[in-house]
Structure 1
Amino acid sequence: MRKLGDIVLDQRPLTMVETATVKEASQQMRETGAGSVLVTKEDGRLAGIFTGRDAVCRVLAEGLEAATTPLRTVMTANPITMSPDRTAIGALRLMWDGGFRHVPLVKDGKILGVVSRGDFKGVEYGRHEEERDLWEHMR
């Protein structure tokens, strides 16, 4: 089974401090093709995660100004994280059960990367689909 660390090998996740604005984050997401920003405290520790879905639901839909709204007010604070030593199928299960698409990878307080549902193809995704189908039939 593939470990999450294999998926994010040499990844440099998009990180920004929690005082950065939604506009700055959105521009960086567009420029890098990232679906999320790992939001950090001034000391570099993970504070939260901001995604494209957050931009739509927590900023645009609420009528907030992207140029002045800091990430700390619209991010998901204290997101669920995983160790890079965990399996890919474990991450898929966690995302499905939690209803989210991105999981930061953290080890010993250090941000190592982020995985999203789109990172999984082939064997892991197929296996997860089989598990979901099985659970649906058991209900």
Structure 2
Amino acid sequence: MLRRVIPDVVKNQELLTIAGAESVLTAARQMADRKVRSVLVVDRDSLVGVFTGTDMIGRVVAAGRSPEKTPVADVMTPDPVTITPETLAIEALRLMQEGGYRHLPVVEGGRLVGIVSRKDFWRDEEAEIEQEEQLWERL
């Protein structure tokens, strides 16, 4: 189970993407329709950022910006950390934990192929990381 690779997690995904020029309101509506908490921001099929519910709260709502007038590109997380399909699930989860991310785009040969979120992983993988952290803290 701890050796599971990313394709096992992201198979059959239908990615939600948006152009950076689109409004935050458009992104929010698409996210709500799909019941997801992130949208991948692309420019000509290349990943340029990720826009999440956390970005919406912190960079739009709390900042008093207009969702109708604010382009996603102005409030997205640019140049996100990515993983490849060969990345082990436990490695992806470590990256998320260390970086404080909830989502990691999956890129292969420069092409966006998926996205993983913390909730995609089994509890035993999270438990494994917590055990490792506790061990390091004791050392």
The Cα shift of 1:5 comes to: 1.2
> Deviations for 1:89-137, whole angstroms, at most 9, x for unmatched residues?
0011101111111100000111111111111113312211211221222
Structure 1 residue aligned with 2:5 = 3
TM-score, structure 1 normalization: 0.95
Structure 1 residue aligned with 2:47 = 46
Match of 1:27 among 17, 29, 39: 29
The Cα shift of 1:10 comes to: 1.6
Structure 2 unaligned runs (5+)?
Answer: none
Structure 2 residue aligned with 1:121 = 122
Among all aligned residue pairs of Structure 1 and Structure 2, give the percentage whose two residues are the same amino acid: 42
Q: How far apart, CA to CA, are the structure 1 residues paired with 2:79 and 2:109?
A: 15
Q: Does 1:13 align with 2:15?
A: yes
Q: Does 1:95 align with 2:129?
A: no
Structure 2 residue aligned with 1:84 = 85
Amino acid at match of 1:33: K
Q: How far apart, CA to CA, are the structure 2 residues paired with 1:63 and 1:23?
A: 14
TM-score, structure 2 normalization: 0.95
Q: Structure 1 residues 80-89 or 119-128, which shifts more? A: 119-128
Structure 1 unaligned runs (5+)?
Answer: none
Moved beyond 4 Å, runs of 4+: none
